A and B are shown apart, each in its own frame.
With several copies, the nearest count.
Chain A
Amino acid sequence: MSVPAPAGGAPEETPSGEDAPRLLDTLPLEEQERMVEAVLFAASDPLRVAEIAERLPEGADVPAALAALQARYADRGFRLMRSGGSWAFRTAPELGFLMRREAVEERRLSRAAIETLAIIAYHQPVTRAEIEETRGVAVSKGTLDLLLDLDWIRIGKRRETPGRPATFVTTTAFLDHFSLDSVRDLPGLKELRSAGLLEPLPPEEAQEEPEPTQDDED
């Protein structure tokens, strides 16, 4: 049975499968790197390692290729970025000014939307009631809808408390948009946590260790 050959394909690069695996053991890392590079270059959305591996001939060492590529493009006009455990080429941030024509018109986000997003990002999973408690004001449906539309947040698991309220969490698109590898990389997260600012009660109370407060006003 004759299978149509890939256009221009060199013999050792035949796609797939069933009869090919052995042959790939000999595929040099340099060649694997080229393949990973091609796959990532062709995509606009970040790809997980598994997704990349799926497209490559069996047995490719994707992590090694990614590391090599990241080093190779560290100083180029576009870089290999990791976001949410997925990989994508992105233009270098300091060259952003060249891409003004490509820039999407920024929908100006309201303060409410930005704060709500921050609360969800830093507290996730978080219920609507908790968001409202933090902001001291009701969260409008429009605000949540906007964030959901932007695909920056999504509905997470229900909280196992009375009423089983839904929670909100951020998405991988959120990480991608804000150039974050993971929510652990949110700016200032550690400081906020160690200052107890992500807890509803002051640190002294939260630790059940009442401390005399020095309110020097009378």
Chain B
Amino acid sequence: MSDHDDFEEGLARVPIEEDEEEMLSVSLSGFEGPLDLLLDLARRQKVDLRRISVLALAEQYLAFVERARRLRIDIAADYLVMAAWLAYLKSRLLLPEPAKGDEPSGEELADRLAHRLARLEAMRRAGEALMTRDRLGLDVFPRGRPEAPEQHTERRYRATVGDLLKAYTRVQTREAYRPLAVDGRAEVLSLEEARARLERMLGGGVDWQRLDGFLPEGWDRAPERRRSAVASSFAAALELARQGEVEIRQDEAFAPIHIRRKAPDA
């Protein structure tokens, strides 16, 4: 332990009690738990951790804890738990083994402890090896100026000429419909009227005719009346088509709508 070395170099004399107390406290606070302390003691044996003398190790640990207790240094409970267990292990190792039962033998318990220490040591070394690898941001570097915008969610707006037309007619009709609601029924061609008129005028003919040719006289001049007539005639035509009585045709958007009586066997 470096604390220990520093102490011996800096104060090369017989430690008086306070110094020893301080030394013990310092080293205890430097350990991360009893296993860490054990590992440190084991390392001082300078042999392969799986070849260490567990008995000697247990004795050193017990002596260490005993000294600390004598000096009334606060020792965390888990150090004491370990001490109790090591005392038990020591007795198992010293006393003759009882007949082989389910209990692990003293040797096996000692092996397990040595194994645990070896594992802790291995992980400590592995951690060190990991930290000395080429590390990103310390030894190797990524592109400092990435160009791919992390979240380049391109917002793309879509609209078609159709959308444009719909919007425009909506704006215009919104405006135009306003008076319609106010003007009352007098200006409206009812659906029933329009339908009756259509059926009457289509007669038995099978030629295509323009729908707006069916508007009643006088309904094709004043804008409101004209629109009402167009709308009612169109709705009536749709109704008749639904019932299979007529066919409707429109060559393209906003082109004139044509209508004819459906041929009997079409």
Contacts and interface: CB of A to CB of B under 8 A. Distances in A.
Contacts of B230: 196
A96 B126 CA distance: 23
B163 A114 contact: yes
Contact of B122 (A100, A146, A192): A192
Contacts of B153: 101, 103-105
A198 B139 CA distance: 29
A170 to B, nearest CB: 10
DSSP majority for the B interface?
A: helix
Interface residues of B, number: 86
Interface stretch (A19-27, A132-140, A160-168): A132-140
Interface in A117-142: 117-119, 121-122, 134-137
A41 interface: yes
Closest 10 CB pairs of A and B: A136-B35, A137-B33, A118-B127, A196-B230, A118-B168, A44-B146, A42-B141, A114-B127, A42-B147, A217-B53
Contacts of B114: 202
A37 B257 CA distance: 59
Interface in B95-119: 107-108, 110-112, 114-116, 118-119
Contacts of A101: 148-149, 151-153
A43 B141 CA distance: 9
Given A122-B123, A195-B255, A43 B145 contact: yes
Contacts of B34: 136-137
A42 to B, nearest CB: 4
A215 interface: yes
B126 A103 contact: no
Interface of A: 38-39, 41-45, 81, 88-93, 96, 99-109, 111-112, 114-115, 117-119, 121-122, 134-137, 146, 150, 176-180, 186-188, 191-192, 194-202, 204-205, 210, 213, 215-218
Contacts of B35: 135-137
Interface in B219-241: 223, 226-227, 230-231
Given A108-B157, A109-B157, A135-B33, A91 B212 contact: no
Contacts of B141: 38, 41-42, 90-91, 96, 99, 102-103
Given A187-B129, A187-B130, A196-B226, A115 B148 contact: no
21 contacts: A43-B148, A45-B145, A88-B142, A91-B147, A93-B139, A96-B140, A100-B152, A101-B149, A104-B153, A115-B171, A118-B171, A121-B130, A134-B120, A135-B171, A136-B120, A178-B135, A179-B133, A186-B164, A187-B126, A195-B122, A195-B257
Contact of A93 (B107, B119, B134, B231): B134
A122 B111 CA distance: 22
Contact of B131 (A42, A91, A109, A180): A109
B63 interface: no
Given A105-B156, A117-B167, A135-B33, A202 B112 contact: yes
B78 to A, nearest CB: 7
Contacts of A39: 148
A155 to B, nearest CB: 20
B2 interface: no
Nearest to B140: A90
Given A41-B143, A114-B159, A215-B55, A191 B33 contact: no
Contact of B157 (A96, A102, A111, A150): A150
Contacts of B129: 187-188
Contacts of A38: 141
Contacts of A150: 157
